Amino acid sequence: MIMPTDTILILDFGSQYSHLIARRIRENLVYSEIVPYDISPEEIGEWQAEFLIKGLILSGGPNSVFDSDAPKISSEMLGLNIPVLGLCYGHQLVAYVTGGSVKPAKKREFGQAYATIKKPVGVLKGLKGREKVWMSHSDTVFSLSTEYEALASTENCPVAAFRHKERAIYGLQWHPEVVHTENGDKMLRNFVFEVCKSEPNWTMDDFLLKAKAEIPEVVGSGKVIVALSGGIDSSTATAIASEAVGKRLTAVFVDHGFMREEEPEFVEATFQRLDMNFIAVDARKRFLRRLKGVINPEQKRMIIGEEFIRVFEGEARKVGAEYLLQGTIYPDRVESGLSKPSEKIKTHHNVAGLPADMEFKAVVEPLRDLYKDEVRKVAQKLDLPMKIAERQPFPGPGLAVRIVGEVTARKLDIVKKADKIVTDEIEKTSLKNRLWQYFAILTDTRSTGVKGDSRAYGYIIVIRCVESQEAMTASFSRIPYQILEKISSRITNEIPEVTRVVYDITHKPPATIEWE
Ligand code: XMP
């Protein structure tokens, strides 16, 4: 029997750090998931059916408790007998709703600060008298109701940490999840293990066991079809499903024509060798036809998503499959707006792109709770070829969202060549290990140049190289100029249609990693 997993729920009040909190906890082998801030006690009860909810973390957020529309928490949530830790806005909120005094501060405190720890207990157990912490707040807790006591202060913040005198309710004004809080990890571990008494029982082996058991529970003796793109997510989902249901699984690889150079051949060669039902569908003309004249990025994504499903439905009918399996991962789910209050950022083709009249009985998503690096760990456990486990992420709609404006066969040819040059040059260096993604984008803008002895008017190619942990945030990489120079001169020399190459120096946020 598979035991329920100890879980810490993060109630998301709109913090940009919610994912960071979840990841820090998971790194300690305790499962963590982000839920909307207004989750009800009844909904927590529903979670309890499958997970052992050991603690609740109230995240930070952009609001002030005094805003008329500020997200609040009901006092019932503090009385559930589940330990609570409020961080930043969460800290102010707990103090405020329990009768403490919270005031708008005279001065906004931002950046490094030193906390004086008066009582090193509970979340602060084992900490020194003075701790380097990272703050970002305006409202400040000045005093607490009599049931609570202050545990730490900073120069501008009389109650920088507190606890309930009898129950496991804590607040920290600072952010333990960011690396700038020197002992932040210790604080989170104190909460997870000392206060919540969680067991570090969330490992990739447990995950695999659970994922494999879950698939037959959903599909019974039915046949399953999987959308296999050859990327790390769908390949891992396919390998799990293949172990779970064997030959009742058919993997369908749709070549929509938006893959990188040599990619369709690689995917076909890899999966045809494995012991599974594998079908490759050449749908290049069909996709290009549907995208004719389309320039709106969201529309492109919706069309590609729908067309994907139509192709699958056709194949599923042929093999008699009633279930669709997908490699959707956790950030796809969150970024598609399936978890309030995170805003919808982009429509990931494999989630919100599903047509309403879909013919499948159910969609199975075994990786839906994992971050990308966790998927990589699972891929390694499954002995997937290294080339797949190490591949950089690639969007489902492929190069179609790396061509700004209308997608045409000619533009696809240009961006494929440019992408190959970027990949070749980066992979010659050790930069490959540092970069999360490296690729080319074809803009819809032309620019004047000189090629040979004459004036040329050609396309602008953008190079994007980013470093990231899980794609929720990313930084452009400061890669050496010599490498950029090599890439630039190769692109302008080898691709006649391109006259200019630029480097994207925007972090995520405010940009996204992909251009569309
Ligand atoms: P953005 O552009 O949102 O990308 O910062 C975050 C990560 O997701 C990848 N990406 C996608 N993956 N289907 C996918 O499977 C999609 O529609 C999609 N769009 C973006 C992107 O490459 C990056 O790693």
Quote the CA–CA distance of 468 and 507 in Å, as a whole number. Answer: 10
Beta bridge partners of 456: 449
Question: Is 83 a pocket residue for ligand 1 (Cβ < 6 Å)?
Answer: no
Distance 42 CA to ligand 1 centre (A): 34
Whether residue 508 contacts residue 428, with contact meaning beta carbons closer than 8 Å, is answered with no
Question: Is 348 a pocket residue for ligand 1 (Cβ < 6 Å)?
Answer: yes
Whether residue 140 contacts residue 191, with contact meaning beta carbons closer than 8 Å, is answered with no
Q: Write the pLDDT tens digit of every residue in 237-256.
A: 999 999 999 999 999 999 99
From first to last of its 516 residues, the chain has per-residue pLDDT tens of 566 789 999 999 998 889 889 999 999 999 999 999 999 999 999 888 888 999 999 999 989 999 999 999 988 999 999 999 999 999 999 999 999 999 987 777 888 999 999 999 999 999 999 999 999 888 999 999 999 999 999 998 999 999 999 999 999 999 999 988 999 999 999 999 999 999 998 999 989 998 999 999 999 999 999 989 888 999 999 999 999 999 999 999 999 999 999 999 999 988 888 788 999 999 999 999 999 999 999 999 999 988 988 888 888 889 988 898 989 898 777 665 544 333 334 444 454 445 555 567 888 999 998 988 899 999 999 888 888 888 888 998 999 999 999 999 999 999 999 999 999 999 999 999 999 999 999 999 999 999 888 999 999 999 999 999 878 789 999 999 999 999 999 999 999 999 999 999 999 989 999 999
Quote the CA–CA distance of 12 and 36 in Å, as a whole number. Answer: 5
* Position in ligand 1 atom list of the atom nearest CA 508: 5
Q: Which two tokens stand for residue 251?
A: 């993997």
Nearest protein CA to atom 6 of ligand 1, as residue:
471
Question: Strands 148-154 and 101-117, how do they pair?
Answer: antiparallel
Whether residue 256 contacts residue 283, with contact meaning beta carbons closer than 8 Å, is answered with yes
Pocket perturbation via mutation, ligand 1, pick of 228, 329, 346 by most ligand atoms within 8 A of CB: 346
Question: Is 469 a pocket residue for ligand 1 (Cβ < 6 Å)?
Answer: no
Amino acid 181: pLDDT:
94
Q: Architecture of 6-195 per CATH?
A: 3-Layer(aba) Sandwich (3.40)
Q: Write the pLDDT tens digit of every residue in 110-159.
A: 889 999 999 999 999 999 999 999 998 889 999 999 999 999 999 989 99
User: Tokens 């007998």 label which residue?
Assistant: 81
Quote the CA–CA distance of 290 and 205 in Å, as a whole number. Answer: 42
Nearest protein CA to atom 20 of ligand 1, as residue:
395
Amino acid 324: pLDDT:
87
Cα angle: 142, vertex 145, 150; to 5 degrees: 55
Quote the CA–CA distance of 419 and 423 in Å, as a whole number. Answer: 6
Range list for CATH 3.30.300.10 in the chain: 402-503
Question: Is 471 a pocket residue for ligand 1 (Cβ < 6 Å)?
Answer: yes
Whether residue 99 contacts residue 148, with contact meaning beta carbons closer than 8 Å, is answered with no
Mean of the per-residue pLDDT values of the chain: 91
Range list for CATH 3.40.50.880 in the chain: 6-195
**Cβ neighbours, 10 Å, residue 221:** 7
Range list for CATH 3.40.50.620 in the chain: 205-389
Amino acid 275: pLDDT:
82
User: Tokens 């008329």 label which residue?
Assistant: 68
CA 380, 382, 388, 392 torsion-angle sign: negative
Distance 394 CA to ligand 1 centre (A): 7
Q: Helices 204-219 and 232-245, interaxial angle, to 10°?
A: 60
Quote the CA–CA distance of 152 and 146 in Å, as a whole number. Answer: 16
Question: Is 393 a pocket residue for ligand 1 (Cβ < 6 Å)?
Answer: yes
Cα angle: 501, vertex 506, 510; to 5 degrees: 140
Distance 513 CA to ligand 1 centre (A): 7
Amino acid 108: pLDDT:
78
Amino acid 405: pLDDT:
97
Question: Is 396 a pocket residue for ligand 1 (Cβ < 6 Å)?
Answer: yes
Amino acid 106: pLDDT:
72
What are the catalytic residues? 88, 175, 177
Q: Write the pLDDT tens digit of every residue in 356-391.
A: 555 678 889 999 989 888 999 999 998 888 888 888
SS3 of 247, please?
helix
Distance 514 CA to ligand 1 centre (A): 7
Q: Name the fold adopted by 402-503.
A: GMP Synthetase; Chain A, domain 3 (3.30.300)
Question: Is 472 a pocket residue for ligand 1 (Cβ < 6 Å)?
Answer: no
Amino acid 216: pLDDT:
95
Question: Which residue in 123, 106, 197 sits closest to 160, CA to CA?
Answer: 123
Whole-angstrom CA distances from 186 to 88, 117, 170, 194 are 17, 14, 15, 11
Amino acid 89: pLDDT:
96
State in Å, rounded, how far the first CA of the chain is from the last one: 45
Whole-angstrom CA distances from 228 to 134, 266, 267 are 43, 13, 9
Nearest protein CA to atom 17 of ligand 1, as residue:
348
Phi, psi of 164 (to 5 degrees): -75, 140
pTM greater than the 0.85 cutoff? no
Question: Is 395 a pocket residue for ligand 1 (Cβ < 6 Å)?
Answer: yes
CATH number of the domain located at residue range(s) 205-389 in this protein: 3.40.50.620
Distance 400 CA to ligand 1 centre (A): 12
Q: Which H or E element spans position 298? A: helix 297-319
